[in-house]
Every structure is written in C-alpha cells, then in structure tokens.
Chains A and B, each alone.
Chain A
Amino acid sequence: MSIVKLEKICKNYTLGKTTLNALKNIDLNVEQGEFIALAGPSGSGKTTALNIIGCIDKPSSGKVFIDECEISYLSSDGLADIRAGKIGFIFQNFNLLPVLNALENVEYPLLHKKMAFHKKRKLAQEALESVGLGKYARHRPMELSGGQQQRVAIARALSTSPLMILADEPTANLDHVTGTEILTLMKKMNLERKTTFIFSTHDQKVMEIADKVVRLWDGEISS
C-alpha cells in the first residue's frame, strides 16, 4: 500500500528577482514499512522534500498523497490533524520542549488524541521504555545527552503509532557511534512495528542501513 506519493512536485523560492528551484519535478512513491534514506549534499532539497511529505510545507506545484488522500485541499487545521494522526517527526536538533520532562515530551503528541489521561501516560511510558529511557522519565532535556534526547524524540514520534516517521538528518548532531545507535534503534522500530521511516542524510555510512536510497541532487532525483 502506498503511504506517500509525490507527483511532479516543484518547490520554488523567490529571492528578490531570482527564483530558486529547490525541488524540480519530484516523483516518489513510499510503501508501507519501508526504511528509506533521502541522500544528498547540503542544499540539495532534502529538508524541503521532507517538509512537503510531512504536510509542513506546500509544494509550488504537483500533488501530494498521504495514505492515498490528496492533501492540497486541506486547511491548516486539516493538515494539523494529518500530522497529529499519521506522521511522527524527528529533528536534527532533537527539538524537545525544554519545559517538559522526557515523559511529558513523549506524551505531547498524544494530547491531540481522545483517550483517558492514564492511557496516554501508559503509552508514553511504554514508548520511553522501548527506546531504553524508562528510568529518565522525569529528566528534562537539558539533563540528557544528545543521544538520549534523540531517543526521547524517537519515542515521541512513536507514541501515537503513526503511519510513518520523518527524520531530517537525525544523526547530524551526534557523534558517529551515537548516530549509528540511533539509526539502529530506528531500524529496530521499523522492523518491530512496521512503521515506515523516511530520513535524510548526507552521511555515506548512514545510507548503508537504508533499504532504499533516494538520491537528491540540486532538487532533482538522480537515482
């Protein structure tokens, strides 16, 4: 089943008089359970592509299907619902909320779901345990290492059991060993839960773990 389908996606940024074509006619199909790397040098359009898949940004032209549903007609609230229900996010800078502890951070996306408070707590606790940080529930992000923070972020992305998780350079701010651990964890979750992962990277080593590598070059897929 196709989870994400991009059809002739273009994204242009107007900078004064010049137009920058960040994405040029991108076609992409992602199936359920895939573990895909978007690879390419800095500035090649990885973040832009992930933002469009993640309903964070709108393409200048082309169609985006999420879970076989065209999203260009959706309002900003409709898109927020899609993000809350179907997509998990992992960021390069971890992006945990500093005022919340690890458990509360993991619980945050569950707030948009209608379920009993204790059930949310339980799901969050389980997600945190599944990334091996059960004991750090009460720690604030500041008190955790980069690797631990990214694990919390993975737990946060997993807590709602989304269709797919998008990770924009999840290892770029981590040392090599920790980065590999994070990626191994993502792969493990992909295998255990059949959650689709799409992540971007410019690191050759990281790409090797992916089932499939989509190479971006100057806004185009170069396969």
Chain B
Amino acid sequence: MITLTIALRNIFRHKTRSLITLSTIIFGCTAIIFAGGFFEDVFYKMRESYIHSHTGHFQIFRKGYWEKGNSQPYNYLIDNPDEIISHLQAIPGIKFITSRLQFSGLISTGENTVSCIGMGIDPGYENQDIPAGANLRKMSDAMTLEGPVIIQGKALTKNNPYTVMLGKGLASSLGITAGDPLIILTHTTGGSINALDVTAQGIFMTSSKEYDDHFLRLSLVTAKKLLHTDSVQSLVIMLDKTEDTAGVKKALARVFQDKKLDLELKSWDEISDFYRHTVNLFNRLFLILKLVIAIIVILSIFNTMNMAVLERTDEIGTIMALGTKKRGVLSLFMHEGLGLGIIGGSFGVAIGTALTHCIARIGITMPPPPGASMPWVSEPRIVLTTVVFAFMTSILTALVSSLYPAYSASRLEIADCLRHK
C-alpha cells in the first residue's frame, strides 16, 4: 500500500519527465488503436464490397464446378434452382437466395467489338437502384453495403428484358453512354452462336476495376434466352450479417446432407483469395507497427526508470537501512513502472478511442486501393480487442522496461548508496 503511494508520488515528483514518458505511452496506445481501427475499416469495406458486389456470402454450384467449371461451364449447370432455394430459404440469417448465369461473349456497337463476361442476375434481388451520389463518402458506403453503384443511366428492371448494364471500363472501351444500342454475341449451351440486340440501360461501378472492365449485367431471363437454357450456374446467398457466415454454413451443410443435395458450397472468404491475402499482409504490417511502438515505449520508460534509480540512490540506501529488503526495493520501482503503464495506458486508451472516433466521423479520403479505380473514405473503427491490446501492451512494456532498473536498484550496496551524494 505504502509502496504504491511512494511509487505514485515519485511519478508525479518529476512532472515534466513523467509527462514525456506518459506521452510516449499515450502516443503508442493511440497509434495502435488508430492503426488497428484503420486496418479493420479496410478489411470491413473490402469484405463487404466484395460480398455485396461480387461473391455474396455463399455461392452454391453443382459438384465439380469449382474444379472444372472454368473450361466446361455448361456441364455444371444447376437444373432445379427453385427446389434448392425452397429447401434453404428457411435457414435463419439468410436475407435472400438468388440465381446467376454467367457466360463469356462479345459485345459490339457495330463499330467496336470487345470481349466481355455477361452475368445474368435477378433484378428483383441483386439490383438496388443506387444513384451515384455527388458525395464520395455516400458512394463508397453504398458500394460497401449495397453492391454496384450506377454512375450513369438506370438500373435493370424486371419487365424490360432487353437491357444491360455495363461496367465503367467496359463502357468506355466501347465508347458508349447510357441509352446506346448494343449487340451481344455468345455461344449457347448447345454450342451454336446466338446474338441479341439490347440497350445499354446504365453504367455501373464496383470496388473492383477488373470487374468493371469486363463485366456486363443483364436480367437472368435474358441470359437464359441467349444461352438457350433453363438452368442456372450458381445460387448466391446473401446474409443479413457477415458475422453469421460460419453459423449459416453449418446449417447449409446440414440441409445438403439431409436432402442429399449434390452441391458445392463456397463461402465468400473461400472465394476471395484476394481478401485473405490482404488481411494477412495488413496484419503482418500491423504486427511490425506494434513491435516498433512497443520498442519505443520500452526505451522511453527504461530511460525514465534508470534516471529515477540514479537520482534516488541515497533514498534507496535509506530505505534499505531502515529495513526494506532487496525485493522491497525491486517492488517499489516495479510499482513505479506499473503506475506509469496504467496511467499512460488509461489516458492512451481514452485519447486513442476518442481521436479515432473523431477521425472516423470526419473520414479520411484515401486513394483507390490496389485493383480499384475509385478513391474511398476511411472511417477507422474502434476495435475492442485492439483497445484491450493497447492497454495491456502499455502495462506490459512498462513492467518489462522497469525490470532491469528495478533489479539494479535492488542490488545496490547500502553503504555505497549512503555515501553517494
């Protein structure tokens, strides 16, 4: 008790020095909380925009598609999508299940022809009509949570099948604007060639430049007509919350087994390698950052504690003469380090959280991430585990850096200390 009192009073004895040390800890905490929040926001936006614009939370294919579907896509079509959907629909957490049919082909204005990938979607589900806001932040939010954003023209509608939406890059390589007529040319599932006159209803943009450069979206009905088939290629499941992925996956697998469905199930994280690699990379970067911060904090506290021991040699001699044992001296300086860690950590967590929160409200405009074409607005998130980590790190670094000074204080000879002046 008295040890703690003495330790705390000694911390406040050298106000400037302690303030500098505390600032280092506070800075470290803030940096960790902010960087962690920034990375988390990157992960979140990337994940959600991929899910909503591209992968959905799950995709269901006919068995074998994942391995061989690339070369023979039409050998692995699903013939009974409605039946499958009816089995799965009741699983809690599922927002909707919809079908897709994808093909590669050519798209032409008559003058210009480029290759493209067509994706037949159900406009009732996968086609929120999000107008391109003037506001970058609204747009990046929409892209994250809703899917492709329409930057020109209008969204697909159910009752007008002969319309398509083009990715931004695809539209510009064709040199068209919304409303222009186009011809799509592709193989049917039977192998013959088929063409269709359509109108470019709108131009969209997603978080992936790759996608926007090659894809066009059209109504599933139209795609079926073009490919001469009634089957679909995949079922896309969208959940209410991404956190439910693991739980729903189990439920889906159970239904597959019960109903003997010969299907392949892939979750979004299995489909998007890119996300996994980015998370790994950023986590590694974050680890290095944390290490660097920890080292700076350790050196700063170490310096302070060492000075304290040097300055207070005569006090150490005095308390040892008065009967304090070596471990008592050790404990005194460890308490002092701990005090620095707790005070610094508490303020650090408070300031770091507050600052991250403020910055998130303002938002930081960031350049387009790799593979994307649009700047985005970062809104760092406060991650509880990172906040706890920052606090624990403050305490741990404080203890680690006090260990040697405290130990050397406890090893001092009393007579030498008392002669020291």
Please name all residues of chain B whose beta carbon is closer than 8 Å to the beta carbon of A191 when the two chains form the complex. none
Tell me whether chain A's interface is mostly helix, strand or loop, or mixed. Answer: helix
* A-contact bits for B351-366, CB 8 A (1 contact / 0 none): 0000000000000000
**Docked complex Cα distance between A97 and B315 (Å):** 7
Closest chain B CB from A49 CB (angstroms): 12
Most chain A CB inside 10 Å of its own CB: which residue of B6, B322, B413? B322
Contacting residues of chain B (188-240) with chain A, CB-CB under 8 angstroms: none
A contact residues, total (Cβ < 8 Å): 27
Q: Are A57 and B414 in contact (CB under 8 A)?
A: yes
* B-contact bits for A88-121, CB 8 A (1 contact / 0 none): 0101010101111000100111011000000000
Q: Are B414 and A56 in contact (CB under 8 A)?
A: yes
Closest chain B CB from A100 CB (angstroms): 7
Contacting residues of chain A (68-89) with chain B, CB-CB under 8 angstroms: 76-77, 80-81, 83-85, 89
Contacting residues of chain A (141-156) with chain B, CB-CB under 8 angstroms: 156
Closest chain A CB from B10 CB (angstroms): 6
Closest chain B CB from A184 CB (angstroms): 24
Judge whether A54 is part of the interface by a CB distance below 8 angstroms: yes
Judge whether A130 is part of the interface by a CB distance below 8 angstroms: no
* A-contact bits for B293-329, CB 8 A (1 contact / 0 none): 0000000000000000000001101111111111000
Closest chain A CB from B195 CB (angstroms): 90
Q: Nearest residue in B to A120 (C-beta to C-beta)?
A: B2
**Residue from B10, B317, B324 in contact with A80 in the complex, judged by beta carbons closer than 8 Å:** B324
Judge whether A51 is part of the interface by a CB distance below 8 angstroms: yes
Closest 5 CB pairs of A and B: A84-B323, A99-B9, A57-B415, A95-B318, A80-B325
**Docked complex Cα distance between A112 and B10 (Å):** 21
Q: A77-B326, A112-B324 known; A93 and B421 CB under 8 Å?
A: yes
**Docked complex Cα distance between A67 and B394 (Å):** 49
Closest chain B CB from A210 CB (angstroms): 23
Residues of chain B whose beta carbon lies under 8 Å from any beta carbon of chain A: 2, 5-6, 9-10, 13, 314-315, 317-326, 413-415, 418-419, 421
Q: Are A76 and B326 in contact (CB under 8 A)?
A: yes
Closest chain A CB from B335 CB (angstroms): 13
Please name all residues of chain B whose beta carbon is closer than 8 Å to the beta carbon of A54 when the two chains form the complex. 321
Q: Are B415 and A84 in contact (CB under 8 A)?
A: no
Q: Are A109 and B322 in contact (CB under 8 A)?
A: yes
Q: Are A111 and B315 in contact (CB under 8 A)?
A: no
* B-contact bits for A142-172, CB 8 A (1 contact / 0 none): 0000000000000010000000000000000
User: Can you show 23 pairs from A to B with CB atoms below 8 A apart?
Assistant: A54-B321, A56-B320, A56-B321, A56-B414, A57-B413, A57-B415, A80-B325, A80-B326, A83-B321, A84-B322, A89-B318, A89-B321, A91-B318, A91-B418, A97-B6, A97-B319, A98-B13, A98-B315, A104-B2, A104-B5, A107-B2, A108-B319, A109-B322
Please name all residues of chain B whose beta carbon is closer than 8 Å to the beta carbon of A97 when the two chains form the complex. 6, 315, 318-319
Residues of chain A whose beta carbon lies under 8 Å from any beta carbon of chain B: 47, 51, 54, 56-57, 76-77, 80-81, 83-85, 89, 91, 93, 95, 97-100, 104, 107-109, 111-112, 156
Most chain B CB inside 10 Å of its own CB: which residue of A81, A95, A104, A107? A95
Please name all residues of chain B whose beta carbon is closer than 8 Å to the beta carbon of A89 when the two chains form the complex. 318, 321-322
Closest chain B CB from A64 CB (angstroms): 14
**Docked complex Cα distance between A111 and B324 (Å):** 9
Please name all residues of chain A whose beta carbon is closer than 8 Å to the beta carbon of B5 when the two chains form the complex. 100, 104
Q: Nearest residue in B to A48 (C-beta to C-beta)?
A: B415
Closest chain A CB from B173 CB (angstroms): 75
Q: Are B318 and A85 in contact (CB under 8 A)?
A: no
Most chain A CB inside 10 Å of its own CB: which residue of B6, B10, B418? B418
Please name all residues of chain A whose beta carbon is closer than 8 Å to the beta carbon of B321 when the two chains form the complex. 54, 56, 83, 89
Closest chain B CB from A199 CB (angstroms): 15
Please name all residues of chain B whose beta carbon is closer than 8 Å to the beta carbon of A112 when the two chains form the complex. 323-324
**Docked complex Cα distance between A98 and B311 (Å):** 12
Most chain A CB inside 10 Å of its own CB: which residue of B5, B323, B418? B323
**Docked complex Cα distance between A91 and B314 (Å):** 11
Q: A51-B415, A91-B418, A97-B318 known; A85 and B6 CB under 8 Å?
A: no
Closest chain A CB from B149 CB (angstroms): 63
**Residue from B6, B317, B413, B418 in contact with A99 in the complex, judged by beta carbons closer than 8 Å:** B6
**Docked complex Cα distance between A161 and B314 (Å):** 24
**Docked complex Cα distance between A95 and B320 (Å):** 12
Please name all residues of chain A whose beta carbon is closer than 8 Å to the beta carbon of B2 when the two chains form the complex. 104, 107-108, 111
**Docked complex Cα distance between A6 and B318 (Å):** 24
Q: Nearest residue in A to B3 (C-beta to C-beta)?
A: A111
**Docked complex Cα distance between A85 and B315 (Å):** 20
**Docked complex Cα distance between A47 and B9 (Å):** 31
Please name all residues of chain A whose beta carbon is closer than 8 Å to the beta carbon of B323 when the two chains form the complex. 80-81, 83-85, 109, 112
Q: Are A95 and B314 in contact (CB under 8 A)?
A: yes
Please name all residues of chain B whose beta carbon is closer than 8 Å to the beta carbon of A85 when the two chains form the complex. 323
Please name all residues of chain B whose beta carbon is closer than 8 Å to the beta carbon of A76 when the two chains form the complex. 325-326
Please name all residues of chain A whose beta carbon is closer than 8 Å to the beta carbon of B415 when the two chains form the complex. 51, 56-57
Q: A91-B418, A95-B314, A97-B318 known; A77 and B10 CB under 8 Å?
A: no
**Docked complex Cα distance between A54 and B321 (Å):** 8
